Amino acid sequence: MTDLHGTPTAAELVAAVAEFLETDVLQATSGAVKFHTRVAANVLRTVERELLDDSPAPDLLGFADERALAAAIRSGDLDDRAAEVSAALRHLVTHRLAVSHPGYDAQ
């Protein structure tokens, strides 16, 4: 989507660069450069999906961020909530995979 002034969004810019890499650059390179071009295009496609992702943030069991949740798990503060922690982590990983590797859950 673009705004009224026709300025491309960050997702559109990332997609355009990824497409350039996937078509023009990939076709014109070989060996390590071709491999690195493919990696760069995949990274850009992941960033594009992250920018377009409007799904609700995974439940972090009331913690401000994943780092705080991880610290609570490490310290044993959530040992009595194992089922909740397991469900939250499963949802978090599923959400990450949906962005980084679409279709993974269908395999």
Instruction: Give residue-wise pLDDT tens across range 64-96.
Output: 999 999 999 999 999 999 999 999 999 999 888
Encoded tokens for 16: 């355009």
Residue 35 falls in which region: left (phi positive, over 0), alpha (psi -120 to 50) or beta: alpha
Confidence of residue 18 (pLDDT cuts 50, 70, 90): very high
Residue 33: per-residue pLDDT: 97
Q: CA-CA distance, 37 to 82, in Å (whole number)?
A: 42
Same domain, residue pair 28 and 67: no
Q: List residues bridging with 2 in a β-sheet.
A: 8
Q: Which domain holds residue 16?
A: 1-54
Same domain, residue pair 34 and 72: no
Mean pLDDT for 25-53 is 96
Indicate the number of domains in the chain.
2
Residue 104: per-residue pLDDT: 76
Instruction: Tell me the pTM.
Output: 0.73
Q: How many Å is the Cα radius of gyration of the chain?
A: 19
> Which of 26, 54, 82 is at the close of a domain?
54
Collapsing DSSP to helix, strand or coil, 62 comes out as coil
Taking 80 as the threshold, does the pLDDT of residue 2 lie above it? no
Same domain, residue pair 18 and 49: yes
Q: CA-CA distance, 24 to 12, in Å (whole number)?
A: 18
Same domain, residue pair 62 and 89: yes
Number of residues written out for the chain: 107
CB 63 within 8 A of CB 69: yes
Residue 5: per-residue pLDDT: 65
Same domain, residue pair 63 and 45: no
